[in-house]
Amino acid sequence: MLGQIPMWQRELRSRYKELELEVVGLVIEQLIGELASKYAEQHELLSYFERLHRDLLQQIELFSGTDEERESPPGADAPRFNRYKVNLLVDNRDGPAVPILHETNPTYQNLLGRIEHMARLGTIATDFTLIKAGALHRANDGFLLLEAEKLLANPYAWEALKRTLKSREIRIESLERQLSLVSTTSLEPEPIPIDLKVILIGDRHIYHLLKAYDAEFSQLFRVVADFAETLPRQPGNDQRFLRLVATLQQREGLRPIERMAAARIVEWAARRAGDGARLSLHMGSLVDLLQEADYWSAREQKEQIGVAQLEHAIEHQQRRVGQLQERMQQEILDGILMIDTDGIQLGRVNGLSVIQVGDYSFGMPNRISATARIGSGEVIDIEREVDMGGPIHSKGVFILSAYLNRRYARYQPLSVSATLVFEQNYGEVEGDSASAGELCALLSALGDLPLKQSLAITGSVNQHGEMQPIGGVCEKIEGFFDICQARGLDGSHGVIIPQVNLPDLMLKKSLREAAAEGLFSIYVVRHVEQAMELFTGMLAGVADEQGVYPKQTVNGKVQVRLAEWFALRLQLSGGQG
């Protein structure tokens, strides 16, 4: 009978186990049944509940524990229960119905997610609770906004994004394993289907580079939206722009803006756009201006932002970045950079250029000089000869040669050899906005026509001598005005600009006041001949039926000089044309 005791004990344990499984099974079945009824339409969840039911019955020992544990049972966060935890990757309950996510740091892991590890007893371990979602998970069924420049700057992020969009599923895979840098066993989460829209934000340069060099780009990103940086000043747009200003003022918690100050902001925006018919939409600069104007209002204990506070803000913004401008202006006033603002000179003219320093640009006068002598018709651009002239500037010089040939050499060779140069220039010259000044200096040298140095000129010309629009007209005018004002205005000073640039004028207050008092003038012209009339005080002249200009005119003097040189050239060549 004693020999049967072990058998009875095994039978007892077996029946106890069966009873325990039966009781626990009823409890589990009841709890899981409630969940199954609640999520009856989620077939994947129902399959998971079935697997969970079977596993719980097989792991009863995890819950029974020792006698001590029965007196004080472990909590649900105990490590032994990790296998039953739910790793909630994404929770959009408190967010919008359609998630809209802007990922500011689009690295490989931040986009696709990652598997984290923990150090345990000197080893690195992980489990499914350490799987972390990426931006693609959080934006699933919604929209993901990415900055193209940052995305391309992060290694492997761009390729991973394209791979995900093409396969329409997210695979969380460590970068080390993908590059075969490690061979340790790790988790392989199931791929997650995605359905979202990815919006890339970047400048046109990046778009065109991707379009040209990435064949998959056009397939994955088919909708292109090119946003303008400026707003046309059409009826109603000024009011819309001011509503935008009011929105920014309220968002930043700034003081209210007075009516006249609002008009000054519109003027500032047009000046920044470089076009009197458009308004700049650069939000960063606009917010900076409003915040600085608000600071001056607080300092002056004003309840509103007025024109004076805006002027303070604009003036101090320019002053903080205007060191180079101040130094160059002082060099002109000290005579280091030779710029005349009075008297007359032969073959010299004050041209105007724009210098860009970061986001700040300012205008400065440059002396353009020309020489002319008997020759075979070439116009030498010294800047181009020493590789200091850009292609657009060289094109402008060729256009000058074409103008001279068309105007004065239709029936005889152009017997002149001329040179053009920007005096005291030690950097590259680019652009054609000085071509009008170069042509005036060249005509002065050809016809012995002294030019007034109290005037400056900017503008591009075509082969017919017509003045074409240029950029930075306000900066150029103000640059010459500052020099003239420092030396003393006497009413003879002014700037000649193309007539088509007239709507672009948004000049500073001191210049407008000087113009109103007759101390500084702005002349708008359609043709370079009008500019020469202003420079010389002499009529340009109109040709008669034989193509001959009156002698006491600009064209007449140039024509006579060229005829003299042609005759002399024939004489020197022994009558051989």
Residues assigned a catalytic role: 433, 476
Give CA 267 to chain center in angstroms.
Answer: 22
Q: Report the alpha-carbon distance of residue 568 to residue 69 in Å, rounded.
A: 121
The per-residue DSSP string of 136-173 comes to: HHHTTTSEEEEEHHHHHHSTTHHHHHHHHHHHTEE---
Angle at 122 between CA 121 and CA 127, to 5 degrees: 70
The per-residue DSSP string of 247-284 comes to: HHHHHTTPPPB-HHHHHHHHHHHHHHHT-TTEEE--HH
Token pair listed for 147 = 């900055």
Place of tokens 């105990």: 78
Token pair listed for 88 = 């909630």
Eight-class DSSP state of 389: B
Element (H, E) at 192: strand 192-193
Q: Report the alpha-carbon distance of residue 193 to residue 148 in Å, rounded.
A: 24
Angle at 536 between CA 530 and CA 538, to 5 degrees: 70
For residues 113 and 172, is the Cβ–Cβ distance under 8 A? yes
Strands 123-125 and 118-120: antiparallel
Q: Report the alpha-carbon distance of residue 383 to residue 431 in Å, rounded.
A: 12
Q: Report the alpha-carbon distance of residue 2 to residue 377 in Å, rounded.
A: 133
Instruction: Give the CA distances from residue 476 to residues 223, 320, 421, 482, 551, in Å, rounded to whole numbers and listed in that order.
Output: 40, 20, 19, 10, 35
Strands 450-452 and 455-457: unpaired
